[in-house]
Amino acid sequence: MRNLTEINITLILSIFSLLSIGILVIFSSSRDLAVGQLIFAMVGSLIFFALILLLIVMMLDVQTRGSVRWIPIGGLNIQPSELAKPALILVLASFWSKNTPTWRNICVSLLWTLPFALLIFKQPDLGSALTIMAIWFGILIASKISVKKFIFLILLFVLIIPAGWITLHDYQRQRVISFLVPENDPLGRGYNLIQSTISVGSGQIMGRGLGRGTQSRLQFLPEFRTDFIFASIAEEMGFVGSVLILGLYITLITQSVKVAGYARDYFGYLLIFGVVSMLLFQTVVNIGMNVGIMPITGITLPLLSYGGSSLVTTLLSLGFVASVGRFRKRIDSEIN
């Protein structure tokens, strides 16, 4: 591993030295072209680092609860699958801002996406892999795909589901089965789902009070700070707190869509829909599995679940949205 690190550092220094020199030379003759080159370099760098980190995760083989998803750096654990999300959003937004949704371009965009999804699925991390595909599909819809193509892709997806069952790990299949009949294994595969729904129901209208949730504080509810934080909130803050959380997410997503409508360029429009696709998918799936209407997939709840990588990724992605909105305001002020 030490030799691999040395090779990577040398390689990375060579790549970015050449990039820097190239941008500097272009800048000497054209500032506008240099800015464009810098943007492409940043997007390409995000792809490069995301894929490299995903490969390093597999090489290190550091397991946490049976999965290999994190790179330990000092006292911190970095999850590269989270960093892959904003990188892919930038790539796909850039691609579809310059191309129309023909079948050829749809296949090309899928080829950009599959390396991320497959490497993440291999960890195994089904939840993040599905989020990657949700980003691809969300930006594809925003790219003004025809209704016929959209229906065909939905039908194709429905047909692929049975084949996808074969590729799942045994524990992932058991999660789906336990979702359908959790009572068959209440102390095993069905335990998480049963405890989560008990937590949600026990909060009733006003909740037990912060820090007073028996399910979470006595650790009957697993992962109550991460995957099942919504169930923990429902227990301690009740129906009122749950509705407040849902209202805040609805506001966040609708306001992001509103900013997309004001976007001055197609790239910004697609960029926001990539972020919205990611947030909407993660929110719906996480809350769905907390209340027992979706299988448990290990997807975190944006901005609420504990986890540095997830939080940084979400804030970075929302930064994209804020940047598009700020760019619009700056143009408006210049016109006025």
Amino acid at 154: I
Q: Which of 3-12, 54-63, 134-143 has the lowest average pLDDT?
A: 3-12
Question: Is the pLDDT assigned to residue 333 strictly greater than 50?
Answer: no
Long-range contacts, 117-124 (Cβ 8 Å, 24+)? 119/51, 119/54, 119/55, 119/58, 120/54, 120/81, 120/84, 121/167, 122/58, 123/57, 123/58, 123/67, 123/68, 123/69, 123/81, 124/67, 124/169, 124/172
Q: Which of 9-13, 175-179, 210-214 has the lowest average pLDDT?
A: 9-13
Question: Is the pLDDT assigned to residue 188 strictly greater than 90?
Answer: no
d(CA 87, CA 313): 10
Q: Which of 7-21, 85-99, 213-227, 284-298 has the lowest average pLDDT?
A: 7-21
Contact call for residues 208 and 236 (beta carbons, < 8 A): yes
pTM of the model: 0.76
Amino acid at 50: A
Indicate the burial class of 32 (C-beta count within 10 angstroms; 0-12, 13-18, 19 or more): exposed
Question: Is the pLDDT assigned to residue 7 strictly greater than 70?
Answer: no
The residue ranking higher by pLDDT, 221 or 130, is 130
Band the pLDDT of 318: cuts 50, 70, 90: confident
Contact call for residues 270 and 250 (beta carbons, < 8 A): no
Tell me the pLDDT of the chain averaged across its residues: 78
The residue ranking higher by pLDDT, 275 or 35, is 275
Contact call for residues 239 and 273 (beta carbons, < 8 A): no
Q: In this structure, what token pair is assigned to residue 126?
A: 């089904």
User: With pLDDT > 70 as the criterion, what percentage of the chain qualifies?
Assistant: 75
pLDDT at 113: 93
Question: Is the pLDDT assigned to residue 227 strictly greater than 80?
Answer: yes
Closest to 291 measured CA to CA, from 228, 248, 334: 228
pLDDT at 10: 59
